[in-house]
Structure 1
């Protein structure tokens, strides 16, 4: 089997790369390698029916998904557009509010269950003749041969050759590790608890976030019911142990208290899941004939919901560079092509990661002077409309 591109990982980023490639190049041959079986999104009638993993998709991500044909395949009724964002400091009175009306846009972004986006991307890739789905894993691969083909051995005993092997296989990427790409990483010292909850008061199309010394707590609106929210509760491991051991009733009470009762009482909670938070960045995004994207290249704190948006930016840029190379008769796995991708994405990823690390450290400090400065800073920033507009437009990917 010979392919122009072989993508390892059929998650959001891997599928997006595949869909973008077939949109940009008519004769490209793509292998999509993943041992898992795609699960279609189901109906939602109770808190336990929702995907625990959701993404706050920016306008730029929406535009990219629209261009590759995926956005229109996501049912309109499952898109939770939020028109307002309110963040505040738990250790003071500082707060900042962003409104879509101030920017003359219909929404600041959309909260979408990951499975809904993935189902839409699946529809595109499964119906494409030039994409072959291989339900297996990569066992090993070697350096490109004299003709530029990367030999890949699969776990099912088969083998293939590809001009370019893309690792989109998550934070613990086997492709990255097998290629010998080093990472710079450290533990945030936080665990994130995710769940779906029902609140006494309306979430009101607002993304809410309270910055606690132990970590940020976010309530994100969900579709179909304005009293449902997806929570991301970032906290210390010992607090995570404590609240996860609670009964549903006690968990709801603890969550209500941690959120200052901003939406009244939390009355119902789904099953809960936790995962440790770690910042990770590949020092180099490519080796000979191999490249990484999305979480395989970088992971960041979820406090601003930028992880998947950075992944979609990677997908867009990498697919553009591959299509451009093939239009010029170049191999998509050549160093010149992959170096362009790295130059276009690495600085933006690093800047976003640095900003998230700065926010985390700023709000984790309990020093009185730091608390005073950040609260006064938040109040001042909230009044500086041109600066607020610039910041939120940048976050939305519109600048």
Structure 2
């Protein structure tokens, strides 16, 4: 079958891009390997969540999916507090100081994907192929021919890889990438605390790595991201529930009181990936297929959404009949690479700075946090940048 654009990956970023393109009348096919589980209000909270910026919320609104997110569940957070476990440095951001109702929303990734896939169904010019897996592709003079694992053949002007860190599109296009193993794992779970989270995202920097308590719709429930050295994370994962709850509460200095109970625990390795090129002839990468970052501030999906918004704008402003032209794709890469590289390096730098136990580094970070906290204008600018405003 013939399309204008094929998107490999119907996750959050790929589905958002598909909605933006379909709204403008583009003939789009989305290839997704797995249908996410349907949502029920009785479901336990998922372990994988995103800290959605205000800019990303606007994109979800533009994609026609935000109302569906709110109909399921999302938690606005009105403040963020960050502090160093080895010193006195701390900083707090509050939406009220910015004249905003909130700093963003904590949303389960499955909820975001389901809302976007629901929006996809409203476009007759958009076809969701699920389950579908990319097998290989071939370039012709003015098109790209995609073959699926079940033997079906599709053609388009452009193939977009939004298929995650293990991207098949990136591999088949032989686009080189750099990989950095952080030698850390993120331990994730849902924790129920004795004290309410007060719509605040809490993050404490420990010598072993940061621990974050991200507020969920239940006032006493938080999504936990606890970064630890890989070998230590494996040991922590094996602790019995009572010990885990006690140590987790201690990790946040019991700011939310004792941990009453926890959900299912999981851990995943942390690696930084960056494609040396996002594009080649009739192929473009975006989201985790192009870059992954340290989950320090939950910025991964926000970067991916910025990729999607930029690529959609360039395609829709294209005055030529060829949406897969290398000239257009290189404009997308130039527009996004700098922001992605900067964010990746800043997150890595923060991780290194706060894990260093040498006295000069402790003084630097504590002085830095305290100084920024006392400079309202600088704090205001930092907060608005993080919100994408």
User: Per-residue deviation at 1:79?
Assistant: 2.0
Which residue does the alignment assign to 1:44?
A: 42
Aligned partner of 1:198 among 189, 192, 198: 192
Aligned partner of 1:94 among 86, 89, 93: 89
Is the aligned partner of 1:337 residue 2:328? yes
Is the aligned partner of 1:138 residue 2:134? yes
Query: Take 1:354 and 1:35, find their aligned partners in 2: how far apart are those partners?
Result: 32
Is the aligned partner of 1:4 residue 2:17? no
Which residue does the alignment assign to 1:60?
A: 55
Query: Take 2:94 and 2:71, find their aligned partners in 1: how far apart are those partners?
Result: 22
Which residue does the alignment assign to 1:29?
A: 27
Query: Take 1:293 and 1:300, find their aligned partners in 2: how far apart are those partners?
Result: 13
SS of the aligned residue for 2:337 comes to helix
Query: Take 1:388 and 1:293, find their aligned partners in 2: how far apart are those partners?
Result: 30
SS of the aligned residue for 1:346 comes to helix
Query: Take 2:253 and 2:322, find their aligned partners in 1: how far apart are those partners?
Result: 56
Which residue does the alignment assign to 1:229?
A: 222
Is the aligned partner of 1:265 residue 2:258? yes
User: Per-residue deviation at 1:55?
Assistant: 0.6
Q: Write the mapping of 1:177-326 to structure 2, written as runs, cut at 5 A.
A: 177-223=171-217, 225-325=218-318
Query: Take 1:102 and 1:295, find their aligned partners in 2: how far apart are those partners?
Result: 33
TM-score for the superposition, normalised by structure 2: 0.98
After TM superposition, the runs of 4+ consecutive aligned structure 1 residues lying more than 3 A away are: none
SS of the aligned residue for 2:309 comes to helix
Is the aligned partner of 1:14 residue 2:14? yes
Question: CA offsets, 1:62-110, max 9 Å, x none?
Answer: 1111112111221257221111100000111110001111101000111
User: Per-residue deviation at 1:157?
Assistant: 1.0
| Residue-pair matches, total | 388
Question: CA offsets, 1:118-175, max 9 Å, x none?
Answer: 11101111232111122211100122x12x1101111001111110000000001011
Which residue does the alignment assign to 1:109?
A: 104
Root mean square deviation, CA, Å: 1.1
Contact 1:278 1:300 in 2 (8 A): yes
Structure 2 unaligned spans of 5+: none
Query: Take 2:361 and 2:15, find their aligned partners in 1: how far apart are those partners?
Result: 43
Aligned partner of 2:77 among 82, 102, 108: 82
Contact 1:44 1:50 in 2 (8 A): no
Structure 1 unaligned spans of 5+: none
Contact 1:150 1:161 in 2 (8 A): yes
User: Per-residue deviation at 1:228?
Assistant: 0.4
Query: Take 1:79 and 1:186, find their aligned partners in 2: how far apart are those partners?
Result: 32
User: Per-residue deviation at 1:113?
Assistant: 1.0
Query: Take 2:382 and 2:344, find their aligned partners in 1: how far apart are those partners?
Result: 16
Query: Take 2:192 and 2:173, find their aligned partners in 1: how far apart are those partners?
Result: 45
Which residue does the alignment assign to 1:128?
A: 123
Question: CA offsets, 1:207-252, max 9 Å, x none?
Answer: 00001111110000000x2110000001111211111101212211
SS of the aligned residue for 2:201 comes to strand
Which residue does the alignment assign to 1:355?
A: 346
Contact 1:38 1:122 in 2 (8 A): no
Contact 1:207 1:220 in 2 (8 A): yes
